[in-house]
Amino acid sequence: MNAAPRQLPLIAGLLALIWLWAAIEPLSRSDWLLENLLVFFFVGLLLATHRRFAFSLGAYRLFALFIAMHLYGSHYTYAETPLGDWLRDSLGLGRNHYDRLVHCAFGLLLACPLRELLARRAGLREFWLDGLALSLVMAMSALYEQLEMLATLIVSPDLGTAFLGTQGDEWDAQKDAGLATLGALAALGLRRLLGRAARRRNAPA
């Protein structure tokens, strides 16, 4: 029996609980609202396209993990998450790097679902699927940086520091996009290695 129909409501329910937790007394209500524009758009897009294109259960799990990480950041603001503070203090870092962690997770968690979409719609060979999935991650990451800037300027310029999370780093946007690219490379590379290992195990002796 296909586990997806049974597990998807559970995944949605867990995300709803995390969203409710994040919505209760966030550190900055205005920043939380801005951060949730991404959540509403992303979840709405998945719901609107679900009947035309249903991802695998594994892809929905990856989507859910990324959304959960983003919701955690929205509750505290990315620059002041307890997890980021703990990593900073434990590793002797100069700033809270939770935003960098999530940007890396963007590529790491979404590259394979994007590849899945391309594989089922475009019918390309392995090399081109990996290359296009990587290109999509890079393009989406760059687009997000632009949308983030525009949202701050249009909706609430006073929230620039909290929402953008630059923490005084003038190269923050470039580093974020670079980490998303590295995350995607790691995910696609790991997928290829695991695929080769599986083919070797299943090859006739």
Start-to-end CA span in the chain (Å): 31
CA 197 to each of CA 17, 116, 190, 194: distance values in angstroms, whole numbers, following the listed order: 38, 19, 11, 5
Residue 205 has pLDDT above 90, yes or no: no
Angstrom distance (rounded) from CA 200 to CA 6: 32
32 Cβ contact list (under 8 Å, min separation 6): 22, 23, 26, 74, 75
Q: Which pLDDT score is estimated for 123?
A: 76
**Under 8 Å between Cβ of 32 and 75:** yes
Q: For 108-166, write each residue's pLDDT tens digit.
A: 999 999 999 999 888 788 889 999 999 999 999 998 888 777 766 776 666 555 555 55
- Distances in Å between the Cα of 48 and the Cα atoms of 41, 51, 86, 180, 194 are 10, 8, 38, 26, 32
Average pLDDT of 40-63?
Answer: 90
Task: Write down the pLDDT at residue 183.
Answer: 97
Q: Which two tokens stand for residue 192?
A: 């290829």
User: Do residues 98 and 167 make contact, with C-beta atoms less than 8 angstroms apart?
Assistant: no
> And the tokens for 72?
């955690």
Q: Which residue has the higher pLDDT, 9 or 156?
A: 9
Model pLDDT for residues 17-37, shown as the tens digit of each residue: 999 999 999 998 888 988 898
Query: Rg of the chain over CA atoms, in angstroms?
Result: 18
How large is the average pLDDT for residues 172-192? 93
CA nearest neighbour of 178 among 92, 91, 96, 106? 106
61 burial type by CB count under 10 A (0-12 exposed, 13-18 middle, 19+ buried): middle
Q: What is the pLDDT of residues 70-108, one digit of tens each?
A: 999 999 999 899 999 999 999 999 889 999 999 999 999
CB 97, CB 69: distance < 8 Å: no
Q: Which tokens belong to 93?
A: 């870092």
The confidence score (pLDDT) of residue 1 equals 44
What six digits make up the tokens of 176? 């974020």
pLDDT value of residue 199: 81
pLDDT for 163 equals 54
